[in-house]
Amino acid sequence: MTIAEFQKLIEDIYYDKDSARGMAATFMWFVEEVGELSQALRSGSQEQLREEFADVAAWLATLASIAGVDLQEAVTAKYSGGCPKCGATPCECGDG
């Protein structure tokens, strides 16, 4: 599944509910899911990690949809040429 296909799937499932909730409230749900991912990264099983990464991706996709952003286009535009700062793959910017 491409990023665009995933974003469309999440729109089909959740867009009406998420857009009615609004950007601010939907963003708060996203932040909560990021917190759950943080906990899973510290002490979760592989299954918990998969579930939390999937949840964060879904909430990010729905936020992009509400904002009118094509997520695949956005990531392609920013990262297809390598690091946005130095242009290298892998990044050669160094730490900091």
Question: pLDDT band at 96, cuts 50/70/90?
Answer: low
Tell me the whole-structure pTM to 2 decimals.
0.91
Residue 49 lies in a domain: yes
What value does the CA radius of gyration of the chain take, rounded to a whole number of Å?
Answer: 15
Rounded to an integer, the average pLDDT of 56-82 is 98
Identify whether 95 is part of a domain.
no
CATH code at 21? 1.10.287.1080
Mean pLDDT, rounded, for 2-31: 98
Q: Average pLDDT, stretch 52-79? A: 98
In a domain, 92, yes or no: no
22-64 residue pLDDT tens? 999 999 999 999 999 999 999 999 999 999 999 999 999 999 9
- For residue 13, being part of any structural domain is answered with yes
Q: Print the domain residue range for 72.
A: 3-79
Q: Is residue 86 part of a domain?
A: no
pLDDT at 95 over 90: no
Measured CA angle at 90 (ends 84, 95), to 5 deg? 75
Residue 60 CA to residue 62 CA, distance in Å, equals: 5
Please tell me the total count of domains within the chain.
1
85: in domain: no
Q: Estimate the share of the chain in helix, then strand, then coil, as percent rounded to the nearest 5.
A: 75, 0, 25
